Amino acid sequence: MSSVSGGNRRGIAALLFVLAVTLLVFYQPLIHGSIRGHDSRTHISWLLSVMDAVRAGSFYPRWLPDQFAGLGAPVLYYYPPFTSLFFALVDQLSRHQLPVGSVIVSATFLLSLASVGTFYLWARGFSRGAIALAAAVFYGIAPYHFQIDYMARGAMGEFAAFVWIPLIFAGLQRWFRAANWKSLALVIVGCAGLFLTHLLSGMLVAMAAVPYVLLRAFVRQEGAAPVPLAVVLRAKLLPLLIAAVLSVGLAACYVVPAITLLPFLNQAALMFSGIDQTALHHAFDPDKPKSFAMIAGVASFYTLAAVTLMWLSWRRRRTLADGAAREALGDIVWWSAVVVFFFIFMMGALNLLVTPPSPLGKIQFLWRALVVQEFALCTLFVLAGKVLVEQGRNVVLAKYVKVAALLLVVGFAAGSSFLSKKLYADPRTEEPAGTEHVRLRMSPPEYFPPGAKAPVPAEEVSRYPAVVAGTAEIVSFKAERYPSRFELNVRATGPATIALPAYGFPGWSITDDSQHAYALTTATDYKLLAVEVGPGAHVISVKRSAVPQERIGNWVSLISLLLTAIFLLVVRMRATRNGALDQGSVASPVAPETISGGTAVGGGAL
């Protein structure tokens, strides 16, 4: 059998292994066609509204008019759009044949597979063996990723964020090895994807990514000649800074409205207790849910595993003859430090980092840092496998260890599936898709206007439009949802205020039949959209249109897309020109990474 066909068979076997293990974990959600997490009702409610809007021709519906029993909510102005739009895409591809719960389960199954793929892309920078595959599969179905984010919390944005994290670090790693446009493209795609998926995870990832960049830029590799600071800044850090700025620009269609319209979000509803109350040491408090203890247990286990792997690997430092393995040992020290640092952070010992004016206070829960800790631990497994297994002299033992790693992942998947079965069999858990919350398309309280009374009771929504001040008669009223608009025929005997069945969020325009524009106002304790009219007969048109922040954000994203293409083209052309100059030289120096075979296989952080 040729090496090519053998490689193809191994690739097919690896793919089948990934599919089988991921299917085992998702078996219960797939057969039940529903999700049961804390936020599941909200995500089902949102997806129903997004699917309706997409089917009506709005492919990025920021305002969801049927939320809050028809009063509307600015959900996708604030919540990153990737997950909702990806779910809607799955609905489109299935030709609307799947129930809403099955759409979400199918989409998250695909996202889990994507997480496996992106992590394996990152792991290939260190190793391509069975341990790297096992770590990648574990990353896609790991305890915090699946059992906490998906099953317990139903946190779809954070669940999807796992896809982008490996792309960022894979791009950074490849950039410092061989500066080329592909590595920068990975950084840009990973960062932009993360911004469009879960900004809070992006803040936490930055806490590890920025030190990682500085470490790779300024710590000299073994045998490498010193590089002037100016060269490092110009040749290595400046392109990365440009890539980061471009990634923010690509996400501007979401980021610009989300940040500039924050005053119109009911931010007081985002936190019911201080962020210090989410520190892991509170797991022993009797009022905390069981999932809190599970989160603390997972974080503690990860920290213990990281310290153990670092200790075992460090003991091998004198026996490592391969340069790439010694560099991997340095990476083990770095990623172990990351795991320990984030554990200390989650324990609440570094609360200075989340106090105002630090933006990290927006992460809401300290234990969200498990997103990074889980990624760091999976990376450690790959690196430790390189140092402890691949560099070992006992070939037979190494094979057994690799098989054991794969079997361990299968065993974990089986245990995870068993836990899911218990959840679905629990008679106390309800089917979210059939709840009153979903029927009325309710959103969390942060999405109604700041200072507003709790959402209008459903039975009162139908009484609007209503004259809430003055004397007037509503002769006729017509409402459309896609696009959102109202038409009123009003006859007033004096100044009057009419409250409409919609929340008074920016974006509404009000005109009469003479094209006279009315000011946007709100009325009632619920902060409903209102129009104030004078005496006489009026034909009033109320409709939604894009706010200036949307248009600005869209243009910034389009311009950033063009600039990204130009930037990557320039980097590619410069690399090609420099390569041609190197080939034309009499004796060009050989980089340490290319001495054996042309491509580096080591970590190279320290």
DSSP per residue, 524-560? TTTTEEEEEE-SEEEEEEEEE---HHHHHHHHHHHHH
Which pLDDT does position 583 carry in this prediction?
57
Q: Supply φ then ψ for residue 545, to 5 degrees.
A: -145, 170
Which pLDDT does position 458 carry in this prediction?
86
pLDDT digits (tens, 9 = 90+) for 545-587: 999 999 999 999 999 999 999 999 999 998 888 766 655 554 4
How is residue 276 written in tokens?
A: 């210090």
CA distances from 536 to 464, 486, 495 (A): 21, 19, 9
Whether the Cβ atoms of residue 176 and residue 327 lie closer than 8 Å to each other: no
How is residue 7 written in tokens?
A: 């490689």
Which pLDDT does position 590 carry in this prediction?
40
pLDDT digits (tens, 9 = 90+) for 429-461: 778 888 999 999 999 999 989 989 888 888 889
**C-beta neighbour count of 219 within 10 angstroms:** 13
Which pLDDT does position 90 carry in this prediction?
96
Q: Supply φ then ψ for residue 179, to 5 degrees.
A: -60, 110
Which pLDDT does position 267 carry in this prediction?
84
**C-beta neighbour count of 349 within 10 angstroms:** 11
**C-beta neighbour count of 468 within 10 angstroms:** 14
Which pLDDT does position 2 carry in this prediction?
58
Which pLDDT does position 520 carry in this prediction?
85
Q: How far apart are CA 154 and CA 200, in angstroms?
A: 16
Which pLDDT does position 79 carry in this prediction?
95
Q: Which helix (H) or strand (E) holds 22?
A: helix 3-32
Do you know the residue count of the chain?
A: 606
Residue segments in the chain with a per-residue pLDDT below the cut of 70: 1-7, 220-224, 271-273, 321-324, 392-393, 579-606
**C-beta neighbour count of 493 within 10 angstroms:** 11
Output DSSP code: residue 502: E
Which pLDDT does position 316 carry in this prediction?
82
Which pLDDT does position 589 carry in this prediction?
42
Q: How far apart are CA 221 and CA 606, in angstroms?
A: 6
